[in-house]
Structure 1
C-alpha cells in the first residue's frame, strides 16, 4: 500500500508542477500583453502574481522593471532589473535597461559599467557602444568617449549619429575646426541628420555667424518641426540680422509647442517692448514672473512697461522690488522718482533723486554707463543677474545640443501608434462607451437581451481600452476570480456558458486575451451560434495577433522563423474574418459586426471590401463616427482622397476631433 501511495504521489506531483508552470507562464504572457498595450499598472499586477508564485524567475522581475521604467519610476525599475540580473546575468538587454535607469538618475559611472557588461555579452550591440560614449561625455571623460566613438565608426561606417557625437566632443574640447570636419563627414553619410545640422547651427551661433545659423537651423526645423528649442535658437539668429518679424514668429511657434518655455516668453517680451507692443509685452513678463517670482530683471522690464502704459503705482511696486535688492541701481531710482513726481509725491521723488546724487558723488561707486544702440544687441546668460543687462536678449546657460540616448525600449510602446492609424474594433466590455461631444451609447439587441437574462454583471459595447490604475486593476482581477469561483461551483452547462462569456469579457479588459479565447472556444464548442462569443472572439484574436506579431518580429532574427511567423499570422488574421462572417450570417443587422469586419479587412489592406463594410455599418447607423473615420482612411489609402476627407470631416462633426488633425496633415501636403 505504501509503495502504491508513493507511486501515485510521484505521478501527481509533476502534474502540479506543470500546471503551476503553465499558470505562471500565462501570468507572464498576460503581463507582457498589458505592457504592450500600455496598461503599465495592470502589467505590474500580473508580474506581482507571477513573482508571488515563483520569485526565482528572472523574466517577471525584468518585465516589472520595464513597466516601472515606462511609469518614470527609475529607482524601482533599477531595483527590479538588478534582481533579474542577479538571477540571470547573461542577458545583455537587462544591462541596457538598467543603464537607462541610471542615466535618468544621473548616475553616469554606474551606467558606463552596465553598458560595458552589455558589450562584453554582445560586442555587436551598437546602441550600448553609443550610449556608453554619451555617458563618458556626461562624465567629462572625453578621451575615452573618443575611443568608444572610434570603435563605433570603424564597425558601423554609415552610423551618422556617431560622427555627429564625435564632432560634439571636439566642440566641448574647444576644437571647432575639427568639429566642422566631422560634421561634414556626418552629413556626407546622412544628409538629413538633424543632430549634425543642429550642431552646425550651434557653432554658427557661438561664432556670431547669424546668417549661417539661420540657414542651418531652418534645415533643422524642416526635419524636426516640433522642437521649441530650435525655434528659440533661430529667433536669436534672426534678431541679430534685424529680421524682427521672423524672430517674433519663431518665439510664437516655440510657445505654441512649449507654453512654459522661459526663453521664448522672456525674449518675446523684450522684442515686443522694443517694437512698442507694450501691453502684450506685459503679458509675457507676467508669465515669466509667475514662473520665476524672484526674477528681478523680468520685474524691472515689467516696471518699465507699466510706467509707459500709465499704471504708475504698479510700476512703483516693481521698481521698489528691484531697488530693495539693488539699492545703488541708478536707473531704477531715477525711473521710480519720475513716477513719484507724476503722481504728485514730490517728497518721495526728491528722496530717490538725493540717493542718486549721493551715489554719483561717491567715487567708490563710479558712473553708470548709458544704454547705447550697440548694447541692445548684447546678450546675457539666463543665470546671470546683472541689472546693467536688463534689456539684453537671454540665451541658455548651456547651448549644447541635448543628448538623446538610443534605446529599443524608447518608442517601442509609447510611439506604437502612428498618425493615421485606424480606430480599433468594437467589443464587449465592462466599461461604458464615452464620446467627448455627444451622449451616445451603442445599443445592440443581442447584448441587451444577454444583460436582461444575466443582470449580475452588465456588459457594454465599447471600442476604447480603459487605462487601468492600481484600484481598477485589482477590481477587474477580482471580478475574474469571482466568476471563476462561480463557474467551478456550477454544475449546469446552460448556466456556465453565460458566466464564461462574462469572464472572457473581464479577462479581455485585463488584457488576458489567451484566457478569454480559451473561454470563448469553450462556449462555441457548446453553442456555435452564439453571436456574442463569435463577436468577442474575433476581437480578442485580433488583439492577440497584434501583440504576437510585435513580439515575434522584435525578437526573431532568423529568416526561417520570420517566414513561419508570417504564415501563422496570416492564418490568425483569417480566423478574425471567419468569426465575423459567421456572426454576420447570424445577426445581419448588427452595425458593429460590419464595422469590425471592415477593420479586419483594413488591416489586411483589402481597402475596397473594407469600404463596403464600413458603408453597410453607416447604412444601419448613420451616427457611427468611427465608421466614417475608418472609411475615410480606407478611401484615402485606396486613392480617393476627396471622399476620404469628406468622411473624416463627418467623423470630426460627430465628435472624433483627431479627424481634423489628419485632414490638416493631408491638405498641408498638397
Structure 2
C-alpha cells in the first residue's frame, strides 16, 4: 500500500506538471492540491503550484507557495528565482535582491540571477552597487551584450552619456541584432538633439523590433525635428495601429493634423485624448481652436471657458473666446473679455498663433498652457527591463515551438478553436456516440479547452462514476466502450498516462477499435512533448505514436488519421512523408483546412514557395485566417 501511494503521488505530480505545460493552470493547481494534501512535506507540489499561480498573475499567492517550498527545502535555486520574480512583479525589489543573494550562494555561475539582481538594484537607484556587480559580471561574461547594456543604462541614469555611449557601442559590437540596444542609443541621441542619428538608430531598432510602440513614437519626434512631416505622421499612424490608446501618439498627431489643415481629423485625436484624460487643458485648448476653425462656435466657447476658469490670465484664450462671442452676436460677453485683456495688457499687442516649433517640445507633465502648441514627450525615457528567467514566458516557450497546427483528438467537449473553419467530423465517432456512447458523447477537436475549478470537479466526478460502472461490467464490448470514455476524460484532464493505460486495455479487448489507436497516439504525442521539455529522449515513444496511427489507418483510413500521422512526420522532419499524408487527407476531405495549412508549412520547409502559398491560400479560404499572415511573412 505504501508503494502504491508513492506511485499515485508521483503520477499526480507529473500529471500536474503536464497540465502546467499545456497552460491548464487551474487544472494543474487541482492536482498539486491533491499531492499537498497527501504529502505536505514535499517541496515540489508547493513550487509547481506557485508556478501555476505565477502564470495566472497571482503573484502574492505564488510567493506564499514558494515560501512554503523553501521551508521544506531551502537549497533549491529555482524556487528562489521564481519567488524573486514574484516579488519584482509586486515592486518588492529589496525582497527580490535577498532571494537572488541566497540563490547565488548555491549557484554562483547563474547569469540570469546576476542579471536580475542588477536590475533590482537599478530600480532601487543603488547605482554604485549595480556598477560594482556589473564589473564582476564583465570579468565572467565579457562577451555578453546585455551586461554592457545594463552598464549603459546606469550611466544614463547618472547623466554620464559619454560613458553610456561607450558601453552601448561595446554591446552593439557584440550583438548588433538586439533592437533594444539601438533604442537605448537613440534615447541618448535624442537627449543631445542629434535628430539625424536618432532617426537612423530608431529605424534599426524598428527593423529588429517592429512591434515596439515607443520606438515609433520616438522616431516621430526625431523626424519632426528633421522636417519630415510625412514620415512623422506615418510613425504616429503605425504606433496607433499597434496601441490604439497611446496618449502621446494621439496628442502629437492631433497637433500635426492641425498644422496641415486637417482640422476634423485633428479634433478626433483630441477627442480621444480627452476621453483618456478629461482634465487635460492642453488638449482642451487645441480642440477649442479647431472647433472654432470648423464653425462649432458654441463647442469652442465651452472649451475656452473651462480653460479660462483654470488660467484666468491666459490672454490668448480670452481673445479667442471674445471672438467667438462676437460671431454669435453676444457683444456684452465679448466686451467683458476684451476689457480684461485691455486692462492687463494696455501696451501689448496680441500675437498671431505661432506654428509648431521644431526646436521646442514640452514634457508631458508640463502644465504651462502657453506651451499648448508644442509636441509632448515622456518626462523620462525609461529603458524597458527584461528580467531573465525560464519563467518569463509560457512554459512551452522553453523549447522552440512549431508553427504546425496540432493533431485532432477525441474530447468530451465541443471544439472551440475551429469557429472560422468547417466543423471536424469523423464517421466512427458519430457511430460510437449513437451505438455505444449513450449520454456521454465524444467530440473531435484539435485544441482542448482549459478547465476551471468547477469543470475540473465535474470531470473527476465523471471519472469516478465511470470507474464504478467498469468494475460492475462483465460484457467485453460494453467494458471497452466505458474504458474509451474514461480514457477521453483522463486526456481532457491532462492525465495522459492514465488515458494510455485505459486505451491499451481497450485494444486488448478489441484490436480493431480504431478510436483507441487514434486517441492513444495523440495522448502519447502530448506526453512526448511534455517529456521533451524536461530533456527526455522521446525517439522510441515517437515510433509508438507512428505505429498506432498506422494501425488505425490500416483498420479504417480517414482524413483525420492521415492528417495526424502527417504531424508525426513533420515532428521528425520527414517532410516528404508528411506532405504525402496531408495530400491523402485532402483527397479524402477537400475541406480539411488544417491539412492545407500544415502542408503549406511543410512545403515552406522544403523551399517549395509557390506550392506553399497555394496551400496556405486555400487554408485561409476555408477559414484559417492565420494562413494569410504566414503568406505575408514568407512573401518574396
Q: Partner of 1:575 in structure 2?
A: 544
Residue 622 of structure 1 pairs with residue 590 of structure 2: yes
Determine the C-alpha separation between the residues in 2 that align with 1:250 and 1:479: 56
Q: Partner of 1:394 in structure 2?
A: 376
Q: Partner of 2:533 in structure 1?
A: 550
Q: Partner of 1:274 in structure 2?
A: 259
Q: Partner of 2:212 in structure 1?
A: 227
Determine the C-alpha separation between the residues in 1 that align with 2:399 and 2:293: 51
Residue 83 of structure 1 pairs with residue 52 of structure 2: no
Residue 535 of structure 1 pairs with residue 504 of structure 2: no
Q: Partner of 2:177 in structure 1?
A: 192
What TM-score comes out, normalization by structure 2 length? Answer: 0.96
Could you tell me how far 1:415 is from its partner in structure 2? 4.2
Which residue of 239, 244, 260 maps to 2:245? 260
Which residue of 609, 612, 616 maps to 2:580? 612
Alignment of 1:173-322 (within 5 A): 173-322=158-307
Determine the C-alpha separation between the residues in 1 that align with 2:349 and 2:98: 57
Which residue of 490, 498, 501 maps to 1:515? 498
Determine the C-alpha separation between the residues in 1 that align with 2:254 and 2:172: 36
Determine the C-alpha separation between the residues in 2 that align with 1:330 and 1:72: 51
Match of 1:461, SS? strand
Determine the C-alpha separation between the residues in 1 that align with 2:271 and 2:59: 35
Which residue of 603, 609, 616 maps to 1:635? 603
Alignment of 1:485-496 (within 5 A): 485-496=468-479
Residue 505 of structure 1 pairs with residue 488 of structure 2: yes
Match of 1:466, SS? coil
Match of 1:539, SS? helix
Could you tell me how far 1:203 is from its partner in structure 2? 0.5
Q: CA RMSD in A?
A: 1.9
Determine the C-alpha separation between the residues in 2 that align with 1:104 and 1:368: 52
Which residue of 125, 136, 139 maps to 2:110? 125
Residue 441 of structure 1 pairs with residue 437 of structure 2: no
Residue 380 of structure 1 pairs with residue 362 of structure 2: yes
Q: Partner of 1:586 in structure 2?
A: 555
Q: Partner of 2:618 in structure 1?
A: 650
Determine the C-alpha separation between the residues in 1 that align with 2:104 and 2:417: 49
Match of 1:57, SS? coil
Residue 72 of structure 1 pairs with residue 37 of structure 2: no
Say if 1:89 and 1:369 are closer, same or farther in 2 by CA, change over 3 A.
Answer: farther
Deviations 1:208-265 (A, max 9, x none): 1111111111111111111000110111100011011111111111111111111111
Say if 1:542 and 1:351 are closer, same or farther in 2 by CA, change over 3 A.
Answer: same
**Contact 1:541–1:576 (8 Å) recurs in 2:** yes
Could you tell me how far 1:373 is from its partner in structure 2? 5.3
Deviations 1:11-64 (A, max 9, x none): xxxxx2222221121111111111111111111111112212222211111111
Say if 1:383 and 1:438 are closer, same or farther in 2 by CA, change over 3 A.
Answer: closer
**Contact 1:129–1:152 (8 Å) recurs in 2:** yes
Of the structure 1 ranges 75-84 and 190-199, higher mean CA displacement relative to structure 2 is found in 190-199
**Contact 2:270–2:287 (8 Å) recurs in 1:** yes
Q: Partner of 1:30 in structure 2?
A: 15
Say if 1:377 and 1:279 are closer, same or farther in 2 by CA, change over 3 A.
Answer: farther
Determine the C-alpha separation between the residues in 2 that align with 1:350 and 1:196: 58
Q: Partner of 1:599 in structure 2?
A: 567
Determine the C-alpha separation between the residues in 1 that align with 2:418 and 2:302: 45
Q: Partner of 1:11 in structure 2?
A: none
Gaps of 5+ in 2: none
Match of 2:345, SS? helix
Deviations 1:419-442 (A, max 9, x none): 861111111111223466667433
**Contact 1:66–1:97 (8 Å) recurs in 2:** yes
Determine the C-alpha separation between the residues in 2 that align with 1:79 and 1:510: 26
Which residue of 443, 459, 469 maps to 1:460? 443
Say if 1:265 and 1:540 are closer, same or farther in 2 by CA, change over 3 A.
Answer: same
Match of 1:655, SS? coil
Could you tell me how far 1:547 is from its partner in structure 2? 0.6
Match of 1:594, SS? helix
Could you tell me how far 1:454 is from its partner in structure 2? 2.2
Gaps of 5+ in 1: 1-15, 553-564
**Contact 1:376–1:391 (8 Å) recurs in 2:** no
Which residue of 96, 100, 120 maps to 1:135? 120
Of the structure 1 ranges 535-544 and 431-440, higher mean CA displacement relative to structure 2 is found in 431-440
Alignment of 1:398-477 (within 5 A): 398-413=380-395, 415=397, 421-434=403-416, 440-452=422-434, 453-477=436-460
Match of 2:376, SS? strand
Match of 1:328, SS? coil
**Contact 1:186–1:193 (8 Å) recurs in 2:** no
Say if 1:436 and 1:520 are closer, same or farther in 2 by CA, change over 3 A.
Answer: closer
Of the structure 1 ranges 48-57 and 477-486, higher mean CA displacement relative to structure 2 is found in 477-486
Could you tell me how far 1:279 is from its partner in structure 2? 1.0
**Contact 2:559–2:588 (8 Å) recurs in 1:** yes
What TM-score comes out, normalization by structure 1 length? Answer: 0.92
Which residue of 110, 135, 156 maps to 1:171? 156
Alignment of 1:104-119 (within 5 A): 104-119=89-104
Say if 1:443 and 1:177 are closer, same or farther in 2 by CA, change over 3 A.
Answer: closer
**Contact 2:559–2:584 (8 Å) recurs in 1:** yes
Deviations 1:132-167 (A, max 9, x none): 111001111111101111111111111110001101
Determine the C-alpha separation between the residues in 1 that align with 2:444 and 2:418: 17
